[in-house]
């Protein structure tokens, strides 16, 4: 390893890993929400778009963390493809009870159910 930083090897390696995480987030944003900014002429519209992009990014990362350890580290496009874009069917029963039917034999059902149960289940007891 070659570096001109004043840090010792372990500190330089940790700084390099932090930089790689930031680069990954920027790549996710560039291929996602930043590729679809509403307009070049309206600062308030772009500011609102970036605010919503930050909120959706944080929610997507939280959903991935709830789904499984592998999805906690996955790219945004992978999370959208595997957990968000689901061909599920909603059924409404009497008195407003709604049931979601996931595809039968779907290979991501366990991860999706982990995320769903963690998000909608009862709160965890404080230790």
- Inform me whether the pLDDT recorded for 102 exceeds 80: yes
For residues 79 and 103, the answer to whether their CB atoms sit within 8 Å is no
pLDDT for residue 120 = 84
Extended beta strands in 34-116, E state:
89-92, 98-101
pLDDT at 3 over 70: no
Q: How far apart are the first and last CA of the chain?
A: 44
Check whether 19 has a pLDDT greater than 80.
no
Q: Give the Å distances, CA to CA, from 1 to 8, 63, 105, 106, 123.
A: 11, 36, 47, 44, 47
Higher pLDDT residue, 19 or 76?
A: 76
Distance of alpha carbon 125 from its chain centroid, rounded? 25
Q: What secondary structure does DSSP assign to 28-45, as a single string?
A: HHHHTGGGG-S-SS-HHH
Greatest mean pLDDT among 9-18, 20-29, 110-119 lies in 110-119
Asked whether the beta carbons of 74 and 48 are under 8 A apart, the reply is no
Question: How many Å apart are CA 58 and CA 4, to the nearest integer?
Answer: 34
pTM for this prediction: 0.70
Answer yes or no: is pLDDT of 126 > 70: no
Mean pLDDT of 116-126: 79
């Amino acid at each position: 390893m070659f570096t001109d930083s004043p840090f010792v090897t372990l500190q330089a390696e940790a700084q390099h890993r932090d930089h790689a995480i930031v680069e990954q987030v920027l790549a996710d944003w560039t291929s996602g929400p930043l590729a679809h900014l509403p307009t070049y002429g309206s600062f308030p519209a772009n500011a609102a778009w970036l605010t919503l992009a930050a909120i959706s990014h944080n929610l997507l990362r939280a959903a991935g963390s709830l789904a499984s350890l592998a999805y906690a580290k996955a790219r945004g496009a992978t999370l959208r493809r595997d957990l968000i874009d689901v061909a599920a069917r909603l059924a409404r029963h009497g008195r407003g009870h709604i049931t979601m039917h996931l595809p039968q034999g779907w290979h991501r059902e366990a991860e999706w159910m982990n995320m769903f149960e963690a998000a909608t289940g009862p709160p965890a007891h404080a230790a």
